[in-house]
Amino acid sequence: MLRHIVGAVVVLLVAALGGAYLLPRGVHVERRIVVDRPAAAVFPYLNSLRKSNEWSPWNDYDPNVKISYAGPDEGVGAKMSWAGNSKVGTGSQEITGSIANRKVSSALEFGGGGLAKAAITLTTREHGTEVVWSLDIDLGNNPIGRYVGLTLDKAVGADYERGLAKLKALVEKEAPAAAQPASAAATSPNAPTS
């Protein structure tokens, strides 16, 4: 009897392990919101990790998180590292691409838990600026990671929605006169990179 139970458990484990490789290797999470301001008013909150920390959805999980910054204050090379409680963990984020009033790309490292790429894209719309926040993770050949990947859209997506709502409230709170017109993208001193 015990031999049959052990055999069944081994078969289930092999099936679960094999099944993991039928799951997607990559995860893509994406959320969007429209901010009632031009892209030039939104962009500074994306291109500076210090300013993006003002609307980060993860600050609510650990108000005592330790954050350090390195590199330039904004744009490519700006880097932020953090260490917090079990909900926040440890990791770092570095801006790897910056196109004025259009897009900011980042590389993320989650304390030994893997690498990811994030991007926030701005598109001018009739009633403001559409902000699209995306995350792409390659789970590699980690079978457990592939199962965890099934939950990421819901978990990270909820955080992205909260963060975008905070960004919208923060930017729209500013006086409209402080926002530059959307056409300012062409004269911005930030050189496009990707």
pLDDT at 166: 96
pLDDT at 69: 97
Residue 122 backbone zone (phi > 0: left; psi -120 to 50: alpha; other: beta): beta
Query: Domains of the chain by range and CATH?
Result: 25-187 (3.30.530.20)
pLDDT at 193: 44
pLDDT at 30: 92
pLDDT at 37: 95
pLDDT at 27: 81
Beta strand 79-83 pairing with 90-99: antiparallel
Q: How far is CA 67 from CA 62, 63, 97, in A?
A: 11, 11, 21
pTM, full prediction: 0.76
The tokens describing 21, both together, are: 């490789």
pLDDT at 13: 57
pLDDT at 190: 44
Residues of the chain with pLDDT under 70: 2-4, 6-25, 112-113, 140-152, 175-194
pLDDT at 139: 72
pLDDT at 174: 79
Q: What is the pLDDT of residues 93-136, one digit of tens each?
A: 999 999 999 999 999 998 766 788 999 999 999 889 999 999 99
